[in-house]
Amino acid sequence: MMIGTIYRRLPGPAPLRVTAMVLVALVILVLVLWSYELLGDLLDSGGTVGG
Amino acid sequence: MGFVAYQLWFTNFLTARDQSALAAGLDDHYQEVVVEEVEYVAVVVAGSTPTTVPAAPDPVPKILLRESASEVGEAFAEVRIPKIDLEVTIVEGVRRRDLKKGPGHLTGSPLPGQPGNSVISGHRTTYGAPFGDLDELVAGDRIEVETALGLHIYEVREAPEQCRNEDGLCVVRPTDLWVTEPREGAWLTLTTCHPRFSARRRLIVFAQLVDGPNAEVILGT
């Protein structure tokens, strides 16, 4: 629903809008995985001493 | 949900994939390693008192086998702990990306089977949790490390008083560097996070070399 709204509000031709949304989705995915990595260090940082 | 799935499932998948590749390349590594004979020089820790005094100087130098170090991130050994059903390939280095592949050997500490204190760190909860059951080890349990030199056998020793908790485990802060310091004889120190699902503390297991290609020279038997 929200994705559809954003898509309709984007300017430009359809292929450009799709490309822009795919790129934004990829960036969000990378940021989410990166945050998982950082949060994961709280669970288990690898067990190093002094590192 | 996504976070839990990523940490407890997806990271295991990544490590299992890396471990397969590392184990497959280990035999090639053994072929490539350069083994040299060096004169054995005992590790002497400052402030300690020798437990035995040799009656006379040894006229024949003792010869120790030493293998060349691997590149950081490369597999170089396999650790087997029968008690906890662990069989895992070890990589050189303890950077975040090294430990994602498997337990890592602290660069700068001696390689397993060499005099001093060889330190290996590994994940407790995520990335395959190779050291997940390290808390089950007790004094006398056997740890086998296979390197290019051969099979080095260690025996777990009791936790030192300075870090022993009510369960008999050695638990320290992540900044307690003394656990990685050189030790007389030949030791293997395994480190991991403690308790499970937390990186607040470190669980340490100390094991002493009892058999292997260099044991006779180091132990003086």
Q: How confident is the model at residue A20 (pLDDT cuts 50, 70, 90)?
A: very high
State pTM to two decimals.
0.86
Q: For residues B128 and B208, give the distance between their C-alpha atoms in angstroms, rounded to a whole number.
A: 26
pLDDT at residue B194, as a whole number: 95
Which chain B residues are within 8 Å of A29, Cβ to Cβ? none
pLDDT at residue B129, as a whole number: 94
Q: Which percentage of chain A shows pLDDT scores above 70?
A: 98
Which chain A residues are within 8 Å of B106, Cβ to Cβ? 48
- Of residues B191 and A4, more confidence is placed in B191
Q: Is the dihedral of CA B136, B137, B141, B144 positive or negative?
A: positive
Tokens describing residue B210: 């009892």
pLDDT at residue A42, as a whole number: 83
Which residues in chain B come in under a pLDDT of 50?
50, 52-53
**Interface check A15 vs B, CB under 8 A:** no
Q: How confident is the model at residue A41 (pLDDT cuts 50, 70, 90)?
A: confident
Q: What angle do CA A48, B25, B120 make, to 5 degrees?
A: 15
pLDDT at residue B3, as a whole number: 80
Identity of the residue in A32, A40, A49 whose CB atom sits nearest the CB atom of B126: A40
- Of residues B50 and A45, more confidence is placed in A45
- B119-153 per-position pLDDT tens digit: 999 999 999 999 999 999 999 999 999 999 999 99
State the amino acid at position B97 in one-letter form: R
Q: What angle do CA B99, B180, B220 make, to 5 degrees?
A: 115
CA distances from B93 to A2, A48, B7 (A): 46, 10, 22
Which of A31, A38, A42, A49 to probe by mutation at the B interface, max B CB count within 10 Å? A49
